[in-house]
Chain A
Amino acid sequence: MAPQDRLTSTLERPESTVAPLLQVEGLRVAYGGHEVVRGVDLELGAGRSLALIGESGSGKSTIAKALLRLLPTGGKASGRVELAGRALLELPERHFRRLRGRTIGFVPQDPGNALNPVRTIGAQALEAAELVDELAKPDRRAAVLETFAQVGLADPERVFLSYPHQLSGGMLQRVLIGLAVLPRPALLVADEPTSALDVTIQKRILDLLSELREGLGISLLLITHDLAIAAERADSLLVLKDGVAQETGPTAEVFAAPSSDYARRLHADVPALNPDRYAQLRDLGRAGAPKIEVVAVTKSFGSLTAVDDVSFSVPAGTTHALVGESGSGKTTAIRLLSGLEQPDSGRIAVAGEELRGRSHASLRSVRRHLQLVYQNPFTSLDPLWKVERLVREPLDRYRIGSPRERDELVRETLTAVGLGEHLVSRRPSALSGGQRQRVAIARALVLRPDVLVLDEPTSALDVTVQADIVETLLRLQAEQGLTYVFVSHDLSLVRQLAHTVSVMRRGRVVEQGTVAQIFDSPQEEYTRTLLDSLPVGAS
């Protein structure tokens, strides 16, 4: 068959099959003696979509790996898994291998690491084309190029000849989706296919998946931590916690009336579904005189202008959000704000003190008033230090108070961020992600700064944990009158938390205003695109 015919003809599948395509009963997966999936049942009809929802450690990715029989060594799956009437777990490996790619396609989480870095994309794509038995060798390349065009890659020839590091994350994910659908599998397993991508790209990738599913009649098992995405993209849901199904059913039903406590909690914690959850808490504090003033700041690196004529001002006691996709200049903006970079032109003032043209020593005294909380608490804390020492370090550095007073301050601050006494002598490895981020916040707060710069402070955390951290941050703001600069790509979260917003794109501020102005009546095309990319949940 010529590649064109193959691609235009959709696979013929019976409209209503009696048995579902994928049927899983009592699936259990254990590592050693430790069970991470404990008796999960699920069903997925031909051409339908099912979302597996859960937070880290819920076992959702393990289920995907168990279906593909790619569990790491030591992992053992039991139970009954039937795909189109064949029991998968009992098949000998060499028989099962024929199903991988051909019958079950896989779209991975992080496109940046999912292709071999030292081979061209084309060489790897031909492997997928090899799986199509009726495709003769000379036609494979054409089939690959056709598929690339189909998944929306503008220049298939160039992509074919490129190495993975030469393409963006969104393009790589298109490539990977293309490779997965090229052999026309009956089932596509997508493991968090968009969590490593920017929002606007996220939407396009999800649209592509929906399109391919409808066009080619492929069933989709979508694994995600994002309830809003699941609600928007799947026919039915399965909510997982600790390896046990909490709730399952058609999406609309689960959304209209979640029956389990966990599903209700999850529902309440997703920012996209609850834009006004913290409105009251957020508006407790009173806005004061401008605490931060950034006027016409520009910063270039070589020929790249990372921050271009950016201005904003933040009243004391309020939160200003910098929103934008990767490469928008957010990170450079906060490096400038904290004095880690010097602007080429423009002025920055924090609490009335000019940052520009200062010596290192006098920047240090400004930094005492402006502290940073980093994105990833899994890498920002020294793994060998105990909590007490981590939080105490800034006090020692700035020689604040007597040792006894320092102890007192550490304890006070830990209590303020909601960490109990019993945690002070633990090391980061013995803390959960949420606890680690609390330590990072405590570390910043212990100096009693006026301003906290929060660089995507919850993006590495689960939604329920994120909700706790957000609540803590808002409470601290109300109690201590803190000013926040909040950097995020998550618009829903910004809406819950910020008072004012700057939308950034390619180093420039494209739109600025209060949360209500930006979200309810965006003036700029780009802002509208960003807002449209947000999953809207079940309608």
Chain B
Amino acid sequence: MSRGYLPFALRRAGQAVLVILLAYVATFVVISVLPGDPVTATLRNPQNGFTEEQIARIVSYYGLDRPVLVQLWEALSRFVTGDLGVSLRSNRPVADMIGEVVPSTLVLAGASLGLALLLAFGIAFGVRYLPRPFGPALRSVPSLFLSVPGFLVGLLLIQIFSFGLGLFRAIDADSPWATFFAALTLGVWVSAQVAEVLIANLDREAEQDYAGVARARGLGQARLLLRHLLKPSALPVVTVLAVMIGEVLGGAVITEAVFGRTGLGSLVESSVASQDLPVLQAVVSLAAVVFVLVNLLADLVYPLLDPRVTVVRPEARVAVA
């Protein structure tokens, strides 16, 4: 594994940077081909009270009077240095606005991933080792989870635990219980996909020769699971989770709306409503950065976890006949 790992890591990191830049460009293009000119419409809205002088300054700051390609180049140059621009709506730096809401979303995403893993592993173990009819019945749980929309789960949880049992006040969105149920709403959905992968992998690994040989060596079901089946079955979950990050970010928008939390999701929601393009551009690019980094991390960690994975380029491999 160690041979060629550094070149592999550098190559993957280089690809990651490229993907992030492309994602920024793609977002920029999508926004600039959108119909209408929300920028000037917002700026000239009398309610916002910009003076002509201010408008001219903002327009030249964004280079809106220049060709699109030049605009793209300048926006990209600012993005690379970490300057995300200024909100059209609140006139504050976008970086500050995002910085305010990110912690809340991180808490939600982290908690929901944790809950999702707990649920997924619980379901997968249950499927294998609970006696009939409970174990087999658990098999249908992931598809049930997948087929119920997230907002419905959220509304049900609020209905039962907030309005019904009075466990938390729906208005107080940042209380621990409210956070827990918000995370659960998001986590249920993520857990379903992880559980499906896990159940399928455990089934497959249990059929492998080595599982039978290990049992012939005197291992019981519990030790067989923990020592032998778990690791090869759980390794692909790393990849699944990395891909799921995008879904978690997307799901956060809905969950935050349902639970009335402030976060990246609510920021996206309000900036879409007010056509606050710099904020949208920044949030979408940020999502791309997170997605790419998480997947980069998964790619870099995987060869360290699975001894069979080699990081040598395919063409460098010697064909042994």
Contacts and interface: CB of A to CB of B under 8 A. Distances in A.
B143 to A, nearest CB: 23
A402 interface: no
Interface string A333-354: 0010000000000000000000
Given A100-B218, A106-B217, A327-B320, A113 B308 contact: no
A377 interface: no
Contacts of A114: 209-210, 213
B41 interface: no
Interface string B211-241: 0111111111000000110011001000000
A274 interface: no
Interface string A109-134: 11001111111000110011001000
Interface string B289-321: 000000000000000011110000000101111
A233 B305 CA distance: 42
A179 B231 CA distance: 22
Interface stretch (A47-55, A297-305, A472-480, A510-518): A297-305
B208 interface: yes
In the complex, the 4 A-B pairs of residues with the closest C-beta atoms, listed nearest first: A101-B218, A332-B321, A106-B216, A113-B209
22 contacts: A94-B220, A100-B215, A100-B217, A100-B218, A101-B216, A108-B212, A113-B210, A116-B210, A116-B214, A117-B232, A118-B235, A118-B305, A119-B227, A124-B214, A127-B214, A128-B217, A165-B308, A301-B319, A304-B320, A306-B320, A327-B320, A330-B321
A97 interface: yes
B308 A163 contact: yes
Interface string A166-181: 0000000000100110
A70 interface: yes
A301 B321 contact: yes
B316 to A, nearest CB: 8
Contacts of A94: 220
Given A118-B232, A123-B227, A127-B219, 16 more contacts: A98-B218, A106-B216, A108-B212, A114-B213, A116-B232, A117-B210, A127-B214, A127-B217, A165-B308, A176-B213, A301-B319, A303-B318, A306-B319, A306-B321, A327-B320, A331-B321
B238 to A, nearest CB: 13
B163 to A, nearest CB: 47
B218 to A, nearest CB: 3
A102 interface: yes
Chain B: interface size category:
20 to 34
A179 B232 contact: no
A127 B227 CA distance: 10
Interface in B179-231: 208-210, 212-220, 227-228, 231
A130 to B, nearest CB: 8
B50 to A, nearest CB: 62
Nearest to A334: B321
Contacts of B228: 116, 119
A114 B212 CA distance: 8
Contacts of A119: 227-228, 231
A271 interface: no
Contact of A108 (B209, B231, B316): B209
B321 A335 contact: yes
Given A101-B218, A117-B308, A304 B318 contact: yes
B205 to A, nearest CB: 9
A12 to B, nearest CB: 23
Given A113-B209, A114-B209, A116-B232, A131 B321 contact: no
